[in-house]
Amino acid sequence: MALAVWAVNDGEKVLKEDLANPNKRGNSVWDGSKVQLFGARNETVAFQVIVEAGDAEVSSSLYVEMSGLVHNEHQDCRIENDISFNGDEASNVGLRIEVFTQHYLYVSPDLSTAPQWFYEESAPPLHQSGWIPDALIPAHAKPRLGGQPVRLGAGSNQGFWIDIYTPRDAALKAGTYLGTVTVRDGEVLVAELPVELTLYDFALPDENHSVTFVYANDVSEYYPDVPDIRDRFRRMAHRHRFDLVGSDVHGQKFDAEALEQYAPYLNGSFFTKENGYEGPGEHVGEGVFPIGMYGAKVLGSEPEEMQREADKWVEYFEGLNWPGSYFCYLIDEPLPAKYEWIREQAGIVHGSAGVGKRLPLLTTRRYTPEIEDAIDIWCAHKIDGESMAYCRSSGDKLWFYNGYRPYHGSLILEAEAVDMRVNSWLRYRYGVEGYFVWHGTHWRHNHQGPRGRWNQNVYSYAVTFMYVAKNEDAYYGDDGVHFGNGDGLLFYPGREPFFREQDRGIDGPISSIRMKNLRRGIQDYEYLWLAAQRGLAAEADAIAREAVPSGMHETVAGGKASWSSSGSKWDEYRRKAAELIVGVSVGAKDNV
């Protein structure tokens, strides 16, 4: 049997050993002979190419390449990498098409993530063990470490991920664009897959109308020769439509000079071609700013000092006239023993005679009556009916963080690919603006576990979060060690000085299937938002209800997730939203 090649949408995880995957026969992007995509301008569309080896087949030099796409009627309309792109990790200007190799992590049945904080027993992931793909290694990484050529072993799959960014340029005409995926084994042609992209005549906004932020710590020890490494992570985050938090300025006292240096990230002047950035959100700043990340005591400890510091922050942001959300991250996941302290701290800040009394206070907890007068933003792990009802009546903001099936999508390695996508649909469905991912670069073990602060080999060992429960709260479960696979990972290290055999030779971050699906959901949200802006809010709401019949506070405890795990089904919902938009803009010049 020769190598088999097929394609699948971006909403699936095809395990390395899954040679009988039903999507091989056909799915939303694959009819058995060609790849069929659709999208708008200023959007990234993606698909996967799966190369399958039979029991007797091996490839030691596998290459997968994607050509540019050319309009079938207007040869001057092209979607291709611009000559301005030079492969520099410090810039993505001119980068329109990217090919990645999928890296697999093995999860043994005895180390599959238990429910705990990630899902209810009634709503487990479909694949709880096996070789699961996540990290997406650029084609120009070190060969045999995800860089091409790639080795494919007998009786296994090798997945490749392809991103296509369609520029916002209105001169890019709507219609059909044609290209080709070429698969080679060394110099031998294995397959050529025709690619058709239907480009609709509208563009996604540069601004996001939801708030998505991911914490990332200082990773400079991984990149000692890359002084601008934080900016490289910022560019990747911005291109995936989420904000990166955890910079020094988020964890220190008010510092006018530091904020002046940070201003380009807030006002958008950093996100320009001149600074190496091209993609969605050019000239658009970040949309969220935490003060005192994870409860860092940046306001001080004495009442007068706290009020003075709060005044400084509010004066700064109100004077900036910044459209984003800023808040003091007062405390992380507080237990009842901390409620009195929370009331005391909030009383000091909100009791100020100055403008600091308007400083919003956030905590990562669902609405709690004992501290309802203290908190302005409730960021809940699981949104319940009481939280939703209170916030709707009081005007407090209600956000959520991480993932917990069936209330919202999970973020562990074993989770369905669409789970990270689902969370944005849930936000649109229920009017919940904010979503927070607790960590995106959890490359060191957390301090609560038995390997606290050790560097992790995230390319070979799936367990990334450990917690030793001591029965302080029922939420944390029985005494003992609890763990999560892939928890805290959206980025992977391009350099690996601690496990040198895993060094990919990339002077920047490496993305993941979970990150791509987070982006896909945020883009989907913009589809629904655009439809609503065109007077079709009821129709957009109906699509959202069809996609997620229930979730968040409407979830039936002990039930299964209400949404489909099929990537094809989610493409169907997106197409319905696209047709809503073009249905009211046909014949009109649309430069959204």
pLDDT at 445: 77
* pLDDT interval class at 590 (50, 70, 90): very low
- What residue type is 261 in one-letter code? Q
- What residue type is 370 in one-letter code? E
* pLDDT interval class at 460 (50, 70, 90): very high
Is the pLDDT at 517 greater than 60, yes or no?
Answer: yes
* pLDDT interval class at 591 (50, 70, 90): very low
DSSP for residue 549: S
pLDDT at 592: 36
Taking residues 252-276, report their average pLDDT.
98
Residue 434, classed as helix, strand or coil, is: strand
The pTM (predicted TM-score) of the whole model is: 0.96
Taking residues 346-372, report their average pLDDT.
98
* pLDDT interval class at 585 (50, 70, 90): low
- The first and second tokens of residue 20, run together, are 């009988």
Helix, strand, coil percentages in the chain from 3-state DSSP, rounded to 5:
30, 25, 45
Is the pLDDT at 126 greater than 90, yes or no?
Answer: no
48 bridge partner residues: 8, 161
483 by Cβ neighbours in 10 Å (0-12 / 13-18 / 19+) ranks as middle
Total count of residues recorded for the chain: 592
pLDDT at 355: 98
Q: Which of 319, 316, 336, 337 has its CA nearest to residue 328?
A: 316
- Structure-token match 């960021």, residue found: 379
pLDDT at 127: 87
213 bridge partner residues: 243, 436
- Structure-token match 């060969």, residue found: 143
Is the pLDDT at 465 greater than 90, yes or no?
Answer: no
Task: Round to whole Å and give the CA distance between 271 and 269.
Answer: 6
Is the pLDDT at 171 greater than 70, yes or no?
Answer: yes
pLDDT at 366: 96
Q: Where are the domains of the chain?
A: 1-445+489-587
Taking residues 334-343, report their average pLDDT.
97
* Least confident range of 82-96, 127-141, 394-408: 82-96
pLDDT at 481: 67
Q: Which of 196, 190, 194 has its CA nearest to residue 181?
A: 194
Is the pLDDT at 586 greater than 70, yes or no?
Answer: no
- The first and second tokens of residue 145, run together, are 């470490």
* pLDDT interval class at 55 (50, 70, 90): confident
pLDDT at 470: 65
5 by Cβ neighbours in 10 Å (0-12 / 13-18 / 19+) ranks as middle
* Least confident range of 80-94, 223-237, 337-351: 80-94
Is the pLDDT at 84 greater than 80, yes or no?
Answer: no
DSSP for residue 111: G
Looking at the chain, the whole-number percentage of residues with pLDDT higher than 90 is: 86
What b/e string do you get for 122-160 counting C-beta neighbours within 10 Å, with b at 16 or more?
A: ebbbebbbbbbbbbbbbbbbeeebbbbbbebeeebbbbb
- The first and second tokens of residue 570, run together, are 């989610």
Task: Round to whole Å and give the CA distance between 546 and 562.
Answer: 10
CA distances from 513 to 119, 484, 502, 525 (A): 19, 17, 19, 19
Q: Mean pLDDT for the chain?
A: 94
